[in-house]
Chain A
Amino acid sequence: MRISDKIYCVLVLLLFSALFTACSTEVEFKGEELEPKLVVNSICLVDSLLEVEVSATKLIPGFESKFRFIPNATVKVFVDDEETEILQCVNVGDSVRAKLEDLFLARYSGKTVVKSGKKYRVEVSHPDFKHVAVGEMIGAMPVPIESAFVEVVKNDDILDNSSSKVNASITFTDTPDEENYYRLYVYLSVGEGFETTKPNGEEGIRVLVMDYFVNQQLTSSDPVFSNNNDPNNILGETSSFGYTIFDDKLLKGKPYELSFELYEHWAWDMAHVDTTMGGYYIVHFELQSITKDMYYYLKSIDDSNESGMGLFTEPVQVYSNIANGLGIFGAASSSTYNIQYGRYPIGGVDYSYGMISY
């Protein structure tokens, strides 16, 4: 490059730098004094023990990097407005689940079992926190799955397997004259059989069992999911969401067949089950009737995950029904329905478990 060209480049660079280079500087955070709040999380299944997790918020500015668990809180339980017990902390950061999640938890439970139609309130207090955090909910009523349907549509063209899919549906009757909220959960268990030689030298069959949990692979164009449409999904009219939740605005207390597609990659496994080799699959459907607050909480979490942190979006505030604190106090009442293809278990067959896919 000639000297004159270099000078020209430097001049233009300087001009650009002066004009359009954004500079960043640290500024003092001038928010109000942000004392930590109690975080109370409890989503229980009906007919299960009432369990409450208690932790604390952490301030974003500063050095605090880990969430704090609160093991010595007082957790009072009220059933139908009468105090019934004080829950005890049974789990402080050493559970398998806590280790798996690399989290410290303070999980409280007692004898209270959540029942449908009962009103529950928890009051959580701790001397380090100014306010008593309060959550209220009424145990959800179950809505049974009346029937279910699964159909595997497989394209054997190895160059184009995009049309492989698993159509599914469940039928249930929405409870009339009530606002109902639902969560659909599906998981697949597949057994693939192999010929094997046992330690004693005999020929036998070994079945490798895979559990596939649905997290974000359910898609549907069913109108009941229209509320869940990711507004930023540009590739079609179907929904893709993590919690598969919906309300009953379109159901109106009538029987309804809810149609959806399972993860397309399941199609291959399901279509190639060889029952002669002990192969099988079970599709487990679980329809949870959930509390309204739980619905809003899950929906806001989902929206929050979808929105990211872009400059073009307004952050999503996650719903909380904990007065004087944060978190969620809700319940789900599950009904299940399984569709099985092939026999399971079969006596004499060696099953290998533990393969999990999300």
Chain B
Amino acid sequence: MKRITLLFFITLLSSLVLGQKFTISGYISDAASGERLVNANIYETKSLKGTTANNYGFYSLSLPAGNIVINASFIGYEPQFLTISLSHDTVVNFGLKLNSDLIDEVTVVGTKSKVEETQMSVIDIPVQKLQSLPVMLGETDVLKVMQLLPGVKGGTEGTSGIYVRGGGPDQNLFLLDGVPVYNASHLLGFFSVFNADAIKSVKLYKGGFPARYGGRLSSVIDMTMKDGNMKKLEGNFTIGLIASKLSLEGPIVKDKTSFIFSVRRTYIDVLAQPLILALNANNGEKVKAGAYFHDLNLKVNHIFSDRSRLFFSAYHGKDKGYMGDKSTNKYELDGYKVNSEEENNMELSWGNTIASLRWNYLIGKKLFSNTTLTYSNYNFGFGMEAELNDLIEKTREYNFYKYYSGIEDLSAKVDFDYFPLPGHEIKFGAQYTHHLFSPGVTQLKFEDMTSEMKNVLDSLYGNREITAHEMAAYIEDDMVLSPSLRMNAGIHLSVFNVQDETYLRLQPRLSLRYKASPDVSIKASYSRMAQHVHLLTTSGISLPTDLWLPVTKTFAPPISDQVALGTAINLPRDLTLTVEGFYKTMENLIEYKEGATFVGNSTNWESKVEKGRGWSYGAELMLEKTVGKTTGWLAYTLSWSQRQFENLNFGNVFPAKYDSRHDISIALTHTFNKRIDMGATWVFNTGNAITLGTREYLGADVPSIHDNFHGRPGITEYQGRNNYRMPPYHRMDLGINFHKQKKHGMRTWNISIYNVYSRQNAFVLMWDWKREMHTIVQDGKEIKVMGDKTILKKFSLYPIIPSFSYSYKF
């Protein structure tokens, strides 16, 4: 470690003392909307020295004095060349124009190629291509596209979260404009909380993490919301089968202040309610039932000057499922009168609310600062109430049960991007976060009232709120060591204080890229990550009931160490091949004890969990084409993910629930012409690991002096945790878009088919019984008898689902 630090400083100092150079800096934006372009490339054409714009479109490049030509480019835009005579520090802002002939061209206009990048294990999600990929029920989804990437696995249908390189669902840091989002799923994972209409860029890190990121073991998904059009008012609305959405963006003060606003809501509940009422019309019950989600994104920004800009962004989303009935019983039987009213209600809801206030300030030509205040809240609640009023006896029974949990963060951070010299991009910063955990509280109310007496219970059970303080600081430098060797080295320091216990974790990060030839690079990386929150998830099914918890005195922060080695190769026909191998260890993981569930809090949650470790390893391959009429990728992952807990599975190693040996995915989009494009995806995964009892046996009698007995229990033998594999999962989706230019905008019809060949993928496997004739031998003769046969049944959720949507962009 000391040697790396020494090398870092020697390289930096040697660069500082070299010849006279000047700085070109500025922003790279979309010329039409003023939207800053994240990760746009800029380089000097002769020396090929260049850099990448940061998350706010800012770049800074130091070059020798003289006449130079610089090129600014971004995928989907016409590259711009500018000749300047560099004799002093210069500010140049680029406004790139969308390439209107992109469809017919095969010009290479990608972001920095994978061969060039220092980082490995990082993937830019092509947001602009999302619309062309098949969508489920008319909803474009960032997470669904992410699940098609190598090293990333989705849960089963109906489950939430993504699983990266053998990590758990809590080991992914979703950042929306720099704010962590704790639950990324709507409607049990069918939709993500990220509205594609409001997203500008998405970057997934699976390993080789830059030092600026911390807090999760397995991945970082860094998403940036659009800033809003600075030039003119634009909008887009989509009407789908079960959801509709609207986006509006435009200037409040032209070229100074802009906004973007997006809102979505499903309406399954509204559509279904008349049917539910009709079905129950004859039995005197008023029944209501439904489920929906809604979310909205808002971002406002104001440019004070070229040096100063302020952003406010917010997201609010909520899922709700509810069921209830109300009935009146009024009759007389054998002289006995009944007159009562009964009402039952049940509700399940969860949601995120996040907000951030960010101030970009350009301190100098080479120093860009970003100061941010953030708020993030996730909560889950489940409630039931039942009320029975006897109108004759004048009695009332009332039962109420509510369970809720949540997490709330308040954070302040400051980040700097420093561009001292060509070949050095230094990022450093610090952050403080105040966490408030409500790990699970049960509220119970019972009221039993008659005219003579009243029994009332009103109590809270469960865990008290826990406060924690988290601080982090980092520094990293992306440096050019030689024309063929680049290195990104850094260190991330985190301090977490909870329950009078302080955890300090030093996390070194290193990525190396060696360019063996113009088209081949070899990369290696090492990163240590620490995580200060746990997500307790039941292994039977993934639901929003999963519980966010802090590390405690008993349960120290999980730590992962990951090494990766890989190569990136530019192939003919604009293909890029990346192959990576990784090995990751994870310490201090937690899981529910066998038999424990999320409900119930007679004891502290710590009594429900066990501590252990895990490790995963594998190889990933991705063949990608990013330009031309046909784009897409083929991804294959071969991996293993295992866990070992002292008190689970008798201490034996067991596969993680989402351990998957083979994952294959294909995503293709093809543009026929300006009016028609289509997309297709196909995925194949080895089945998930589940715990399935396969044998039964008799238990023992437990004697006592008094010689009584309780009977022998029938015991199911599980041959180890996660001992059985579900059938393989595979599915194909197709989608086609028909665009038409109208007077005021562009109309698009989308037709999608989810699960084209209606594969019945297993959601859950269970033993069941059926009556069947079978042959037995009795007294030496074979006879046929009817018997109960135990069979294995799979339950599948979603067959083929065609859908369509209509959208209009104006």
Contact = CB atoms under 8 A, between A and B. Distances in A.
Interface of A: 1, 5, 8-9, 12-13, 15-16, 18-20, 22-31, 34, 36-37, 39, 41-45, 48, 53, 55-63, 65, 67, 97, 101, 103, 159, 183, 185, 187, 213, 215, 226, 229-237, 242-243, 284, 286, 288, 297-298, 301, 303-307, 310-319, 326-328, 332, 334, 336, 356, 358
A327 B461 CA distance: 38
A332 B705 CA distance: 10
Given A24-B796, A25-B796, A288-B704, A232 B599 contact: yes
Contacts of B793: 24-27
B691 A311 contact: no
Secondary structure class of chain B's binding surface, majority of residues: mixed
Contact of B541 (A213, A311, A358): A311
A236 B710 CA distance: 26
7 contacts: A43-B701, A232-B596, A236-B461, A286-B705, A304-B595, A307-B596, A313-B540
A39 B791 CA distance: 24
Nearest to A27: B794
Contact of A187 (B595, B608, B706, B709): B706
A59 B461 CA distance: 42
A185 B691 CA distance: 34
Given A8-B274, A39-B697, A336-B705, A317 B721 contact: yes
B603 A58 contact: no
Contacts of B788: 63, 65
Given A24-B796, A318-B699, A326-B697, 8 more contacts: A26-B792, A37-B697, A234-B444, A234-B599, A286-B706, A312-B541, A315-B595, A318-B717
Interface in B653-691: 691
Nearest to B695: A57
B713 A301 contact: yes
A334 B704 contact: yes
B695 A27 contact: no
B695 A236 contact: no
A334 B705 contact: yes
A357 to B, nearest CB: 11
B213 interface: no
A183 to B, nearest CB: 8
Interface string B692-720: 11111111111111101111111111101
Given A231-B600, A312-B597, A301 B763 contact: no
A231 to B, nearest CB: 4
Interface residues of B, number: 90
Contact of A326 (B278, B692, B717, B725): B717
Nearest to B787: A63
A216 to B, nearest CB: 10
Given A26-B793, A326-B697, A231 B608 contact: yes
A23 B755 CA distance: 15
A315 B693 contact: yes
Nearest to A67: B698
A295 B641 CA distance: 32
Nearest to A284: B706
B708 to A, nearest CB: 5
B595 A306 contact: yes
Nearest to A236: B602
Interface stretch (B310-318, B356-364, B797-805): B797-805
A55 B698 CA distance: 7
B511 to A, nearest CB: 38
B799 A231 contact: no
The 8 closest A-B pairs by CB, nearest first: A307-B595, A41-B700, A232-B600, A234-B600, A231-B596, A57-B695, A316-B594, A39-B697
Contacts of A23: 760, 795-796, 799
B596 A237 contact: no
B783 to A, nearest CB: 13
A43 B707 CA distance: 13
Contact of B727 (A27, A63, A159, A303): A27
B794 A60 contact: no
A185 B764 CA distance: 40
B705 A45 contact: yes
A63 B272 contact: no
Contacts of A36: 695
B445 interface: no
B255 to A, nearest CB: 46
B789 A63 contact: yes
Given A19-B798, A25-B796, A307-B594, A314 B540 contact: yes
A242 B695 CA distance: 24
B724 interface: yes
Given A42-B700, A103-B712, A286-B706, A234 B601 contact: yes
B774 interface: yes
Given A23-B799, A301-B699, A61 B274 contact: no
A19 B190 CA distance: 11
Given A43-B701, A317-B718, A312 B598 contact: yes
A234 B442 contact: yes
Nearest to A183: B702
Contact of A57 (B538, B602, B697, B765): B697
Contact of B698 (A9, A39, A307): A39
B16 interface: no
A243 B702 contact: yes
Contact of B694 (A31, A310, A317): A31
B767 interface: yes
A328 B700 contact: yes
A313 B718 CA distance: 14
Contact of A305 (B713, B762, B765): B713
Nearest to A356: B708
A60 B706 contact: no
B594 A315 contact: yes
Nearest to B707: A45
B592 interface: yes
A303 B712 contact: no
B695 A233 contact: no
B702 to A, nearest CB: 6
Contacts of A307: 594-597
B649 interface: yes
Given A12-B272, A311-B541, A60 B790 contact: yes
B453 interface: yes
A65 B795 contact: no
Most buried by B among A9, A56, A315: A315
B508 to A, nearest CB: 36
A319 B650 contact: yes
A60 B796 contact: no
Contacts of A55: 697-698
Nearest to A101: B711
Most buried by A among B693, B695, B708, B713: B695
Contact of A18 (B601, B703, B770, B801): B801
Interface in B61-76: none
Contacts of B592: 313-314
B275 interface: yes
Contact of A22 (B650, B724, B770, B795): B795
B603 A231 contact: yes
B32 interface: no
Interface string B606-617: 011000000000
B600 A41 contact: no
B49 interface: no
B593 interface: yes
B718 A231 contact: no
Contacts of B717: 57, 317-318, 326
Contact of B703 (A30, A45, A234, A316): A45
A231 B604 CA distance: 9
A116 B309 CA distance: 81
A103 B703 contact: no
Given A26-B791, A231-B608, A311-B540, A58 B715 contact: no
Contacts of A326: 697, 715, 717
Given A25-B794, A62-B790, A237-B602, A317 B697 contact: no
